[in-house]
A and B are shown apart, each in its own frame.
Chain A
Amino acid sequence: MFHQPMTFKQALELRSELGADATVINGGTDVVVAMNHGAIKPTCFLDLSGINAIRKIDRDNGHLILGAGVTFAQLGKLHVRTLKEASLSVGGPAIRNMGTIGGNIATASPAGDGCVALLALGADVQLSSKDRGQRWIPLVDYFIDYRKTALADDELIQAVRIPYNPRSRWYKIGKRGAVNISLVCCAVSQNEDKKTQLAFGCVGPIPRTAPKASALLNGETLSAELIDDVANLVAQEVSPIDDQRGSAAYRRAMCSTLTKRLLTQLMEDNPKGDADA
């Protein structure tokens, strides 16, 4: 069966009715690959790609609300630098035209570039169900363990909320210039109260933040010494593993390096700590 609801309400009804039996699909850039590899064998689809309401970006009270169906191509046009650059680093043009931020969050891969940028931005995610309504939870609480998330079987991701105007930076290390899976990626953002967040991809089972290191930064004006301390702390905080894409030692070192590089850029580009133009 292939269900293609045109409204989010219908989608929630179907989701509630079909539960885990239906494979939710939007851009299909993860689902179809998994099918081709035989990792999943769906018999029933719930396709969200017909729902225009979740393909929009809205402004709300100092925040941006990104519908779950917003594509990376759309995000690539945003001014929020870390999310823009992360989005433009995803796959190639075809993938960016199809792949959605909701799909990225639902897949919850430790290499999910969108997830890492959103974590640094302190995003909240909106999970909705027919019977229980909507709930906003911090994205950081949404990721539980390897590919395990807070999303219930009757829920869909509806939207993500990020601050409107943070200062932020992004860097992804991969093995080539495009269609490039992260070896390590790092996102930082700092809001007007100098609340600073660091997030990393590929250094553990889930996309993650570095709360201890981030805490050192909060409310502080960036300085070279502070940045060094934070970078050192990051190396202790993350827990990467060896895999065939790269070693734990390299990834750990890169977390420090990228932290230092990105924070230094934030400091140098804008010593007073103003918001991005």
Chain B
Amino acid sequence: MIQQVTTTESDKAQDAPIAPPDHLVGKSCRRIDGKEKVTGTALYGADLFPNSAELFASVVRSQHAHANITAIDTTKALEVAGVLGVYTHADVGGTNIHGLIRRDHPALASKRVRYLGDAIAVVVAKTERAAKLGRDRVEVSYEPLPVIATMEQAIADGACKLYPEGNVMGDKRIRKGDVELALANSHVVVTDTFFTQTVDHAFLDIEAGTGHWDGQVLTLYVAGQWVHEERRLIALALGLPVEQIRIIQPVTGGAFGGREDISIQIYLGLAALKHQGKTIALRYTRSESMRARHKRHALKIESTFGAKADGTLTAARIVVHSDEGAYASTGIAVMRKAASHATGPYRVPNVEVDVYGVHTNNNPTGAMRGFGACQMAIAYEGMMDRIARALNMDREAFRRKNLIQSGDTVTTGQHVDPVSIGHCLSKAIAKFKERPYPGNDKLPDYMRRGWGMSAICFGLGYGDGFPDCSRARVEMNDDGTATVYTGGVEVGQGLLNTMMQIAGEDLGLPMEHMRIVAADTELTDESGSSSATRQTYFTGNAVRMAASELREQVLDIAGIKLKVHPHEITLQQGWAFETAKPDNRVSIQQICTEGLTRGYSLKATALFKPRTITEVPQTGQSPRAFITYLFGAHVSQVLVNMETGEVKVERHIAAHDVGKAVNPQSVEGQIVGGVAQGLGMALMEEVTYKDGRIMNPGLTDYIIPTIKDLPPVEAIIVEHDDPGGPFGAHGVGEPPLIGAVPAILSAIYDATGKAPCELPMNPERTWRLINDVRENDPLSKVF
């Protein structure tokens, strides 16, 4: 039946002229996941609950930020009606440990807890309510240990050690030239210390999912950022072979790095293994989500920069202390990224950077959009404004004098080409100047306006020799459509469209003929994580390679059919035709049928695995620390109430070189979202701790921006082909946030004449800055 319809339609279509070429790369094709998200039919993790859950799990967490566990008594919990089981470390079959770089985080703590989010037991019950009642009845006895609440306490003499090796988790350094001498010979030397805050990802879609064990396969519907790696970690922890675990990513509402660490997967897996044949559901509340999850690192950045009288930068000495919290997470990589981005897109001949990661009893800190590069941009851009002022130079002219250019090296010694930072800055400033700057003339005396800028760079991918690769498969289906298979996860950024558009471009297929299967460990191959701004570049390349290979097969078959050399054929809108004689044509659908009978596979797979080079530990130098560099520049205009400290961002312009915008609307979405998140970090977001306890574990007091806080973001897409990227594209996920924060701070500096050094600049901090009020400041992190 279907067959018939198809034939009739294609018969009719045989006579119709072929539609003009429709280049999918560069086109804002409508998001394929858009309609179901907007209409509310998309199934997120928590939506799986009512449909499929048979049993419910709940997690027992530590009552202490730091303690030894002396006993775990589950008797009373097991007495709760409906509770079917309470499982502790003793029930875990594998290593019971996870951790993305170091395996140091017990899935269920046995001897010791190091933060209040540490999990101790999993309760399984017939209802969610019973599971939670059971959770509250598990009796854990503790022997409290001193709580290391701050980095200062952690590195003090005689501090209680979180680990036998001590509280310093590791260090990263850069050594280049002779900083001592260069500073001594500088015309100005400017020093300041920056304190960035702990930030939560605050994604909408709180951790939730289901697990099921049928005796053969453990199936987990849980949103992560790298399903294949999560599978490996779960397998190790639970003692199950990797191939017996299947992870399927439900529709996911944001990640921002917050789904990189293992969250509910191991608890669900353990519960499922104990209750064969039952679908177990587990979801956090917002407060549990915030208490359990890792955070963005809070950094203390001590910066000293020198410059000549003409504005040429001479040297930088930077010491960073980074609050790693209780476990390593991706901390080592964040520290390295901080070190390698310490001087940003500036030419600084002499550099010393020391980054120390310090364990505390706060939440572990790990990946979040910007990943160390974000905090450093706040410091180096802050320093650029301060030095320009010290030299009495124009802020833009001073930056331009020192920005790297194509072929220059960044601080790790890597040559970068092309470098488009100067161009991005010009674009942003030109856009700003399109409208007259209103200045302070018409303002009451207690209001001040200011504007500022930022110029930032970002090394894409994991870098530093860490294995980083993507696989992809592209297949023609017998109805003439093509399916892309990728392990990459869509977390809201637009990965699905990007991959379909890249493959469709090569295959000459319209978007309606493209299909995709993503993030299912059974059906797709490893594509690395949706992080490090890497998917467009890495998986995009793998998809491009597979699609190109498939294109060759299609052209071969078309050549046979059309009796011309494959090189003389054009693929367009689902047709193959002789370029010189378009009437000589065959539909892709026919090619598929033909091809399969001729023994063509009409499938292609590809592996994209470029190499980066591990840094020399003593100097931090590497000829290729990152696969490629991204650039962006922002301009922000703010209005400050000098009496109350309230800051309103009036305009925000962001120019980002994305190589090539595969889907310009998605790129703009990333830029606007990054600015919104950056505005939150600059002005309002802050996790506050008291002795390791999060004081604002909810969106009542963890303040994120609303639409009323955001000006219409003016996004500028800059395109300089990246020679290594698919169709010249690289990525855009993280840089917009990185650029936004320092531009807003720069504008506050301009408005108030005072240089911000502590985040976030909420009304009180801004008021303290303006009025130099230091005392009685319970919010201050300064030490």
Interface residues of A (CB under 8 A from B): 92, 173-179, 181, 183, 242, 244-250, 253-254, 257-258, 261
Identify which of B648, B688, B690, B763 contacts A175 (C-beta below 8 A). B763
Q: B739-771, CB under 8 A of A: which get 1 and which 0?
A: 000000000000000000000001110011000
Q: How far is the CA of A257 from the CA of B763 in the complex (A)?
A: 13
A interface: dominant SS: loop
Q: B556-599, CB under 8 A of A: which get 1 and which 0?
A: 00000000000000000000000000000000000000000000
A173–B778 CB distance below 8 A: no
Q: Does B165 touch A at the CB level, under 8 Å? A: no
User: Cβ of A246: which chain B residues have Cβ within 8 Å of it?
Assistant: 763-764, 779
Q: How far is the CA of A260 from the CA of B704 in the complex (A)?
A: 30
CB distance from B772 to the nearest CB of A (A): 13
5 residue pairs from A and B, CB less than 8 Å apart:
A92-B706, A176-B684, A247-B778, A257-B644, A261-B643
B776–A176 CB distance below 8 A: no
Q: How far is the CA of A258 from the CA of B776 in the complex (A)?
A: 21
Q: How far is the CA of A6 from the CA of B574 in the complex (A)?
A: 66
A242–B643 CB distance below 8 A: no
B773–A257 CB distance below 8 A: no
B708–A177 CB distance below 8 A: yes
Q: Does B705 touch A at the CB level, under 8 Å? A: yes
Q: Does B696 touch A at the CB level, under 8 Å? A: yes
CB distance from A37 to the nearest CB of B (A): 8
A248–B776 CB distance below 8 A: yes
B709–A244 CB distance below 8 A: no
CB distance from A24 to the nearest CB of B (A): 22
User: Cβ of A245: which chain B residues have Cβ within 8 Å of it?
Assistant: 701
Q: How far is the CA of A245 from the CA of B765 in the complex (A)?
A: 11
Whether A244 contacts B764 in the complex (CB less than 8 A), given A173-B644, A176-B703, A181-B700, comes out as no
Residue of B nearest to A245 (CB): B701
Q: How far is the CA of A254 from the CA of B770 in the complex (A)?
A: 14
Q: Does B719 touch A at the CB level, under 8 Å? A: no
Residue of B nearest to A248 (CB): B776
Identify which of B646, B683, B709, B775 contacts A249 (C-beta below 8 A). B775
Whether A173 contacts B768 in the complex (CB less than 8 A), given A179-B706, A244-B696, A245-B701, comes out as no
**Residues in B680-696 with C-beta less than 8 Å from chain A:** 683-684, 688, 690, 695-696
Residue of B nearest to A252 (CB): B776
Q: Does B777 touch A at the CB level, under 8 Å? A: yes
A177–B709 CB distance below 8 A: yes
B644–A175 CB distance below 8 A: no
Q: How far is the CA of A173 from the CA of B648 in the complex (A)?
A: 12
Q: Which 3 A-B residue pairings sit nearest by Cβ, starting from the closest? A: A177-B708, A178-B708, A249-B776
CB distance from A170 to the nearest CB of B (A): 14
A173–B763 CB distance below 8 A: yes
B767–A175 CB distance below 8 A: no
CB distance from A219 to the nearest CB of B (A): 28
Q: B698-737, CB under 8 A of A: which get 1 and which 0?
A: 0011011111110000000000000000000000000000
User: Cβ of B763: which chain A residues have Cβ within 8 Å of it?
Assistant: 173-175, 183, 246, 250
- B: interface residue count bin: 20 to 34
CB distance from B149 to the nearest CB of A (A): 14
User: Cβ of A174: which chain B residues have Cβ within 8 Å of it?
Assistant: 763
User: Cβ of B775: which chain A residues have Cβ within 8 Å of it?
Assistant: 249
User: Cβ of B648: which chain A residues have Cβ within 8 Å of it?
Assistant: 177
A176–B779 CB distance below 8 A: no
Contacts A249-B775, A254-B767 known; 10 new A-B pairs at CB < 8 A: A175-B703, A175-B762, A176-B709, A242-B778, A246-B764, A247-B776, A249-B776, A250-B764, A250-B768, A257-B644
A173–B646 CB distance below 8 A: yes
User: Cβ of B779: which chain A residues have Cβ within 8 Å of it?
Assistant: 246-247
Q: B533-567, CB under 8 A of A: which get 1 and which 0?
A: 00000000000000000000000000000000000
Residue of A nearest to B776 (CB): A249
User: Cβ of A178: which chain B residues have Cβ within 8 Å of it?
Assistant: 706-709
Identify which of A244, A250, A261 contacts B688 (C-beta below 8 A). A244
Q: How far is the CA of A244 from the CA of B703 in the complex (A)?
A: 12
Identify which of A92, A247, A257, A258 contacts B764 (C-beta below 8 A). A247
Residue of B nearest to A257 (CB): B643
User: Cβ of A176: which chain B residues have Cβ within 8 Å of it?
Assistant: 683-684, 703-706, 708-709
B703–A250 CB distance below 8 A: no
Q: B413-449, CB under 8 A of A: which get 1 and which 0?
A: 0000000000000000000000000000000001000
Q: How far is the CA of A258 from the CA of B700 in the complex (A)?
A: 24
B684–A175 CB distance below 8 A: yes
CB distance from B102 to the nearest CB of A (A): 32
Residue of A nearest to B703 (CB): A175
Residue of A nearest to B699 (CB): A179
Q: How far is the CA of A210 from the CA of B252 in the complex (A)?
A: 51
CB distance from A33 to the nearest CB of B (A): 8
Q: How far is the CA of A254 from the CA of B773 in the complex (A)?
A: 13
Q: How far is the CA of A253 from the CA of B696 in the complex (A)?
A: 24
CB distance from A179 to the nearest CB of B (A): 6
CB distance from B428 to the nearest CB of A (A): 24
Q: How far is the CA of A234 from the CA of B318 in the complex (A)?
A: 45
Whether A249 contacts B773 in the complex (CB less than 8 A), given A173-B644, A181-B700, A244-B701, comes out as yes
Q: B323-351, CB under 8 A of A: which get 1 and which 0?
A: 00000000000000000000000000000
Q: How far is the CA of A140 from the CA of B703 in the complex (A)?
A: 31
User: Cβ of B695: which chain A residues have Cβ within 8 Å of it?
Assistant: 244
CB distance from B346 to the nearest CB of A (A): 33
Residue of A nearest to B688 (CB): A244
User: Cβ of A242: which chain B residues have Cβ within 8 Å of it?
Assistant: 776, 778
User: Cβ of A179: which chain B residues have Cβ within 8 Å of it?
Assistant: 706
Residue of B nearest to A258 (CB): B644
User: Cβ of A258: which chain B residues have Cβ within 8 Å of it?
Assistant: 644
User: Cβ of A247: which chain B residues have Cβ within 8 Å of it?
Assistant: 764, 776-779
Q: How far is the CA of A246 from the CA of B767 in the complex (A)?
A: 12
Q: How far is the CA of A181 from the CA of B696 in the complex (A)?
A: 13
User: Cβ of A253: which chain B residues have Cβ within 8 Å of it?
Assistant: 767
Q: How far is the CA of A176 from the CA of B682 in the complex (A)?
A: 12
User: Cβ of B646: which chain A residues have Cβ within 8 Å of it?
Assistant: 173
Q: How far is the CA of A250 from the CA of B684 in the complex (A)?
A: 16
Q: How far is the CA of A50 from the CA of B563 in the complex (A)?
A: 79
B644–A254 CB distance below 8 A: yes
User: Cβ of B776: which chain A residues have Cβ within 8 Å of it?
Assistant: 242, 247-249
CB distance from A184 to the nearest CB of B (A): 9
Residue of B nearest to A246 (CB): B764
Q: How far is the CA of A253 from the CA of B644 in the complex (A)?
A: 9
CB distance from A236 to the nearest CB of B (A): 16
Q: How far is the CA of A257 from the CA of B770 in the complex (A)?
A: 14
User: Cβ of A248: which chain B residues have Cβ within 8 Å of it?
Assistant: 776
CB distance from B649 to the nearest CB of A (A): 10
User: Cβ of A175: which chain B residues have Cβ within 8 Å of it?
Assistant: 683-684, 703, 762-763
Q: How far is the CA of A245 from the CA of B683 in the complex (A)?
A: 14
Q: How far is the CA of A97 from the CA of B690 in the complex (A)?
A: 36
User: Cβ of A181: which chain B residues have Cβ within 8 Å of it?
Assistant: 700-701
Q: How far is the CA of A179 from the CA of B708 in the complex (A)?
A: 10
Q: How far is the CA of A178 from the CA of B707 in the complex (A)?
A: 8
User: Cβ of A249: which chain B residues have Cβ within 8 Å of it?
Assistant: 773, 775-777
CB distance from B781 to the nearest CB of A (A): 13
Residue of B nearest to A260 (CB): B643
Whether A250 contacts B700 in the complex (CB less than 8 A), given A176-B708, A177-B706, comes out as no
CB distance from A175 to the nearest CB of B (A): 5
User: Cβ of A250: which chain B residues have Cβ within 8 Å of it?
Assistant: 763-764, 767-768
Residue of B nearest to A33 (CB): B700
**Residues in B123-170 with C-beta less than 8 Å from chain A:** none
User: Cβ of B446: which chain A residues have Cβ within 8 Å of it?
Assistant: 261
Q: How far is the CA of A11 from the CA of B684 in the complex (A)?
A: 43
Q: How far is the CA of A177 from the CA of B684 in the complex (A)?
A: 11
CB distance from B752 to the nearest CB of A (A): 16
Q: How far is the CA of A244 from the CA of B686 in the complex (A)?
A: 11
CB distance from A133 to the nearest CB of B (A): 39
User: Cβ of B768: which chain A residues have Cβ within 8 Å of it?
Assistant: 250
Residue of B nearest to A249 (CB): B776
Residue of A nearest to B775 (CB): A249
Q: B638-657, CB under 8 A of A: which get 1 and which 0?
A: 00000110101000000000
